[in-house]
């Protein structure tokens, strides 16, 4: 999966890192074009700051800031997202050409937001938050931040689907810096596979966040300026390469980091296996560069309500999933380390959750969904997925019907 680079364009006088710099529409357009030239695939246009203590902006004022910029950018063929919690702004932004609604409230700030997203058909980014960022962390009391954020994101996605948003239009964002301490933010990133196991693409926004400032050393002779923060952001972007998108202020650094990460992944996949005893798993490579080491999970039974016919969706039936994934197992075998492989129990749970989600007509669609879940695990290079439908409504006598697809990391979606 290619990683989108979402370039931040704050058309505001008071955003926390660049407030006022691009408040003028012409200056904003020039900066957006520069971000695109540096590798941005989406420009995220915002007209209201979410920094701690920021004053709320009336939707009319927000719209006067962002709509002319969105219209001009989309007229030039530039993909745009609207960063807003206001449904009226989102609706007008999509009408002006925006294809993504990026709602930091996860659709909770405005009761009309989910309906607008459903009606417009825009891609919807649902971010986890518990309100405007609170530097005192009065809302950061998690017992288990990963499981709680995961559960709350799943609930947000469920609400969006119930409102009519198509599941393939939903992107999830763990909400780094929004009522989470630095330690909690790093815990979320370190276990991002747990969030990805929900089956939705992910957007990561760590650019210039406080958690970077609290982690990096600083001294009078070596201050934490924007250059250092952007370098740290690029490092995180490299580690996150493969997610749906990263939201950044300094596009060039993150674009370069992601390109290098992709090259390293490709190089690692194509490294010939040593004949020494260090190659414990004997992971010979295929001519296309993918390791022959496999983890195979077969016959995973899921009762779900998929099918072309109404009675299939009403009554439901059993589906069986086979997942054959390519993972370099040498490090896991050498160190007897679970962290160096894929936890097949967690993979099974993630597949179950993905198949049990909203009904679809085709098992081809299910197979694609499961493949993307498998590829969300950083160690997985290739996923061969078979979906069996033994109770398919076919008049002829038959034993089984199935669809098999093969997807590789880096394939265009």
List the catalytic residues: 209, 247
CA dihedral for 326, 330, 331, 332, sign (positive or negative)? positive
Distance of CA 16 to the CA centre of its chain: 24
Longest CA span, the chain: 79
Taking the C-alpha atoms of residue 73 and residue 126, their distance in angstroms, rounded to an integer, is 23
167 phi, psi to nearest 5 deg: -55, -35
Taking the C-alpha atoms of residue 153 and residue 235, their distance in angstroms, rounded to an integer, is 25
DSSP character string of 260-272 = HHHHHHHHHHTPP
Q: What is the dihedral of CA 57, 60, 63, 64, to 10 degrees?
A: -100
Cβ-count burial of 356 within 10 angstroms (0-12 exposed, 13-18 middle, 19+ buried)?
Answer: middle
For residue 303, count other CB atoms closer than 10 A to its CB.
11
Taking the C-alpha atoms of residue 212 and residue 30, their distance in angstroms, rounded to an integer, is 28
């Amino acid at each position: 999966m290619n990683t989108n680079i979402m370039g931040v364009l704050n058309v505001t006088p008071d955003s926390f890192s660049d407030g006022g710099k691009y408040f003028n529409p012409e200056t904003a357009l020039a900066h957006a074009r520069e971000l695109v030239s540096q590798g941005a695939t989406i420009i995220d246009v915002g007209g209201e700051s979410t920094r701690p203590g920021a004053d709320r902006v009336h939707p009319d004022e927000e719209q006067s800031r962002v709509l002319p910029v969105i219209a001009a950018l989309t007229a030039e063929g530039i993909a745009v997202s609207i960063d807003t919690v206001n449904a009226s702004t989102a609706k007008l932004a999509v009408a002006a050409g925006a294809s993504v609604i990026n709602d930091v409230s996860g659709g909770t700030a405005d009761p009309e937001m989910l309906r607008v997203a459903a009606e417009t058909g825009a891609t919807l980014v649902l971010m986890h938050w518990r309100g405007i960022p609170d530097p005192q962390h009065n809302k950061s009391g998690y017992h288990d931040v990963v499981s709680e954020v995961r559960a709350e994101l799943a609930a947000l996605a469920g609400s969006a689907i119930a409102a009519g948003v198509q599941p393939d239009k939903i992107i999830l964002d763990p909400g780094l810096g929004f009522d989470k301490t630095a330690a909690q933010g790093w815990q979320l990133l370190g276990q991002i596979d747990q969030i990805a196991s929900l089956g939705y693409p992910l957007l990561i926004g760590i650019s210039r966040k406080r958690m970077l400032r609290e982690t990096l050393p600083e001294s009078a002779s070596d201050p934490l300026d924007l250059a250092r923060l952007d370098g740290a952001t690029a490092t995180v972007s490299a580690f996150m390469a493969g997610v749906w998108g990263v939201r950044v202020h300094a596009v060039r650094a993150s674009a370069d980091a992601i390109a290098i990460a992709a090259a390293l992944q490709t190089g690692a996949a194509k490294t010939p296996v040593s004949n020494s005893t260090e190659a414990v798993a004997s992971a010979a490579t295929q001519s296309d560069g993918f390791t022959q080491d496999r983890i195979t999970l077969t016959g995973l039974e899921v009762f779900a309500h998929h099918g072309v016919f109404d009675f299939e969706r009403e009554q439901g039936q059993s589906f069986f999933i086979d997942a054959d994934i390519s993972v370099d197992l040498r490090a896991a075998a050498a160190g007897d380390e679970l962290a160096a492989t894929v936890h097949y129990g967690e993979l099974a749970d993630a597949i179950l959750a993905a198949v049990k989600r909203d009904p679809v007509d085709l098992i081809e669609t299910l197979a694609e969904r499961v493949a993307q879940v498998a590829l969300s695990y950083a160690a997985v290079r290739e996923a061969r997925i078979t979906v069996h439908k033994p109770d398919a409504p076919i008049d002829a006598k038959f034993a089984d019907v199935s669809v098999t697809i093969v997807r590789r990391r880096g394939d265009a979606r």
